[in-house]
Structure 1
Amino acid sequence: MSVSICPSRPARGCNVQHRDAQGLDAADRAIVLATQAGLPLVPDPWGAVGREVGMSGEAVLERMQAMQERGVIRRVAAVPNHYRLGYVANGMTVWDVDDAQIDRLGREVAAIEGVSHCYRRPRHLPLWPYNLFAMLHGRSFDEVERQAAVLRERLGEACRDHRILYSSRILKKTGLRLAVRPEDPPRR
């Protein structure tokens, strides 16, 4: 499991005297440091983190939820390695979709099986007319092409053009990491 922190978004209602620039007090910071490389893959990950930082698993979970509500933590999610799962053809499909219909169609596309990411982006005319992006993963390029055909059918007349941009190399996917400071408690 991955924990993505988002320190550029200020925490609402934080006490400046007791929190650092990311809106973290010492206990929150210890939790983030203990989880930023991922949650332990054990039956009770919150308890394991709690033992590492000196608190109960329930307290860790409550603090993680509070940090998420404040916007300090963006999400806690599994981050699969698509290649290890056999999905070696990864294509970002980009679509030139009628702006008047993009919100509705974007929700429909996002719900299609096989779409892992779907979002609206600004056009950069005249070179880049695409405003809807959807990531597809397949075990072959043919599979991705078939998935893209399903998306094209769903978009119908609202779609003027599209492309599939295939991944050419694997980039290391990690969230932002906090640097360990001298005043941080030692990791167990």
Structure 2
Amino acid sequence: MPKPVDPVDLALIRATQAGLPLVPAPYAAVAGALGLTEQEVMARLAAMHARGVLRRIGAVPNHYRLGWRANGMTVWDVDDAFIDMLGERIGALPFVSHCYRRPRHLPHWPYNLFAMVHARSRQDAAPQVAAIAALLGDACRAHDVLWSTRILKKTGLRLPPPGPDQ
């Protein structure tokens, strides 16, 4: 079975795992540090994404610093016959940052669809929750909102620095 990444890909992962540089041309800056062209960096990242080595490249904002203090994980008890179709629709809403299906843990936890919403206040988030409820309609039996009380450290996997054999 072939290795999922070559040494250049591995160096690229290490160079970007803490984030892209905050400069006007971040891919060019990474390219310069690795002795590659900007196009090579973008092509390699795209290829690793296509192979499933990278899940995504995106910003990870601190919602609190942006003034979005009402961050709520909405949880829904949705009919299993409709959850995939409805989950796709909920996940496509512009105010939902992520949406996913989870197993129920009956009898205490009936919820199987989770969708994160962000607003400046809980009052501002209420129409978002109502819009999700309206979209789910009769396929939804119950829901709740779990409001964030603090921000947790958001980091993904971090590879160690290269060893002597790398």
> Normalised by the size of structure 2, how large is the TM-score?
0.92
Count of aligned residue pairs for this structure pair:
166
**SS in structure 2 at match of 1:77:** coil
Kindly indicate whether residue 105 of structure 2 is the aligned counterpart of residue 124 of structure 1. Answer: yes
**SS in structure 2 at match of 1:93:** strand
**What is residue 139 of structure 2 aligned with on the other side?**
158
Shift of 1:184: 8.0
List gaps (5 residues or longer) in structure 2.
none
Distance in 1, Cα, partners of 2:6 & 2:91: 37
> Normalised by the size of structure 1, how large is the TM-score?
0.82
**SS in structure 1 at match of 2:57:** strand
Kindly indicate whether residue 96 of structure 2 is the aligned counterpart of residue 142 of structure 1. Answer: no
Shift of 1:79: 1.4
Asked whether the 8 Å contact 1:90–1:167 carries over to 2, the reply is yes
Asked whether the 8 Å contact 1:68–1:74 carries over to 2, the reply is yes
Deviations 1:63-102 (A, max 9, x none): 1122212221111111111111110010000000111111
Kindly indicate whether residue 89 of structure 2 is the aligned counterpart of residue 90 of structure 1. Answer: no
Kindly indicate whether residue 22 of structure 2 is the aligned counterpart of residue 44 of structure 1. Answer: no
**SS in structure 1 at match of 2:145:** strand
Distance in 2, Cα, partners of 1:116 & 1:94: 14
Distance in 2, Cα, partners of 1:42 & 1:184: 32
Distance in 2, Cα, partners of 1:69 & 1:184: 28
Deviations 1:133-164 (A, max 9, x none): 11010101112223112211221111110010
Kindly indicate whether residue 166 of structure 2 is the aligned counterpart of residue 179 of structure 1. Answer: no
Q: CA RMSD in A?
A: 1.7
Shift of 1:55: 1.4
Pick from 30, 34, 39: which aligns with 2:11? 30
Pick from 46, 62, 66: which aligns with 1:65? 46
Distance in 2, Cα, partners of 1:184 & 1:40: 28
**What is residue 109 of structure 1 aligned with on the other side?**
90
**SS in structure 1 at match of 2:141:** strand
**What is residue 7 of structure 1 aligned with on the other side?**
none
Kindly indicate whether residue 114 of structure 2 is the aligned counterpart of residue 133 of structure 1. Answer: yes
Asked whether the 8 Å contact 1:117–1:134 carries over to 2, the reply is yes
Amino acid at match of 2:61: P
Asked whether the 8 Å contact 1:121–1:132 carries over to 2, the reply is yes
Shift of 1:113: 2.8
Q: Which shows bigger deviation, 50-59 or 108-117? A: 108-117
Amino acid at match of 1:160: R
